[in-house]
Amino acid sequence: MIEMRLKKEREKSLLRKHLWIFSGAVEAFSDSPECGETVRVTDHSGKFLAYAACSPQSQLIGRVWSFNENMPPGKELFQQRIREAAEFRRFLGLDDPEGGCRLINSEADGLPGLVVDRFGEFLVMQISAAGVERFREEFVELLMKELGAKGIYERSDLPVRAKEGLAERTGLAAGEQPPNPIIIRENGMRFAVDVRHGQKSGFYFDQRESRRAVAKYADGRTVLNCFSYTGGFAVAALKAGAKHVINVDSSSPALRQAAHNLEMNKINKEQFENVPGDVFEILRQYAAEKRKFDMVILDPPKFVDSQRNLTRGCRAYQDIARLGFQLLNPGGLLFNFSCSGLMTPELFQKITADAALAANTDGTIVEKLHQSPDHNIPLSTPETFYLKGLITRIK
* pLDDT single digits (tens) 334-351: 999 999 988 999 999 999
Q: Which of 326, 330, 329, 336 is nearest to 367 (CA)?
A: 336
Q: What is the CB neighbour count within 10 angstroms for residue 138?
A: 15
Q: Each residue of 128-164: pLDDT tens digit?
A: 999 999 999 999 999 999 999 999 999 999 998 998 8
| The pLDDT of residue 333 is above 90 | yes
- The ranges assigned to domains in the chain are 3-66, 75-182, 204-394
The tally of CA atoms less than 13 A away on the side-chain side of residue 298 is 31
Q: At what angle do helices 252-264 and 232-239 cross, to 10 degrees?
A: 30
Q: What is the pLDDT of residue 200?
A: 86
CA angle, residues 178, 180, 181, in degrees to nearest 5 = 110
| The pLDDT of residue 306 is above 90 | no
Q: What is the pLDDT of residue 302?
A: 86
Q: What is the pTM of this model?
A: 0.93
Nearest-angstrom CA–CA distance, 303 and 6: 34
Was domain 75-182 assigned CATH 3.30.750.80? Answer: yes
| The pLDDT of residue 308 is above 90 | no
Q: Which of 177, 224, 183, 227 is nearest to 207 (CA)?
A: 227
Give the CA dihedral 77, 81, 84, 90, nearest 10 degrees: -150
Say whether 75-182 and 3-66 share the same fold. Answer: no
Please name the CATH architecture into which domain 204-394 falls.
Answer: 3-Layer(aba) Sandwich (3.40)
Strand partners, 22: 60
Amino acid at 203: F
Percent of the chain past pLDDT 90, that is, above it, reads 92
Confidence band for 298, pLDDT divided at 50, 70 and 90: very high
The two most distant CA atoms of the chain are separated, in Å, by 71
Question: What DSSP character marks residue 309?
Answer: G
Confidence band for 303, pLDDT divided at 50, 70 and 90: confident
Strand partners, 124: 117, 153
Give the CA dihedral 362, 367, 369, 373, nearest 10 degrees: 180
Q: Which of 269, 190, 278 is nearest to 227 (CA)?
A: 278
CB 228 within 8 A of CB 247: yes
Given the candidates 2.60.40.740, 2.30.130.10, 3.40.50.300, 2.40.50.140, the CATH classification of the domain at 3-66 is: 2.30.130.10
| The pLDDT of residue 31 is above 90 | yes
Question: What DSSP character marks residue 271?
Answer: G
CB 233 within 8 A of CB 297: yes
Q: CA 58 from chain center: how many Å?
A: 22
Least-confidence region, from 48-52, 218-222, 239-243, 378-382: 378-382
> Which has the higher per-residue pLDDT, 104 or 162?
104
Q: What is the pLDDT of residue 258?
A: 96
| The pLDDT of residue 379 is above 90 | yes
- The CA-atom distances, in angstroms, between 271 and each of 223, 267, 359 are 10, 7, 29
Q: CA 111 from chain center: how many Å?
A: 16
